[in-house]
Amino acid sequence: MQVLALNGVNLDTLARRDPAVYGGVSLNELESRIYGWAHALDISARCRQSNSEGEYIDWIHDSYDNVDGLIVNPGAWSHYSYAIRDALELLTVPFVEVHLSNIEGREEWRRHSVVADLAAVRIIGKGPDGYREALQFLAGADAAK
């Protein structure tokens, strides 16, 4: 099974962000954990992060015929990027929307995700462990085929 984990805008600055909100890890530490969890589940994972919305969309397009599932954390784009939503809508494989923080308990503008209704499952507010849960879900979804 091949999974692509896409992290969006500002997630490259995790180590500088409030650890009480974002889990206190750097992007490199998060990606190392994802690779370790994937290995334990016998999944091949690839992690990517971009602050460029177009590049993020290109990676979604590139995944259409090349992966079995996606983990997406678009960051702030979750709240307004219909371009990302349109790209995700064309997927024929499941994707999991992950947010490190509990976006539903934060500022009003963060509470809405334009991709939420497309996601196979949403995992919010579980810090880095949300990615492990997403991998476990995708491994189970693959086994159900």
Catalytic residue numbers? 22, 99
In what helix (H) or strand (E) does residue 48 lie, and over which residues does it extend? strand 44-49
DSSP assignment string, 120-137: SEEEES-TTHHHHHHHHH
- Give the number of other CB atoms < 10 A from CB of residue 65: 8
Is residue 9 within 8 Å of 75, Cβ to Cβ? yes
DSSP assignment string, 77-91: GGGT-HHHHHHHHT-
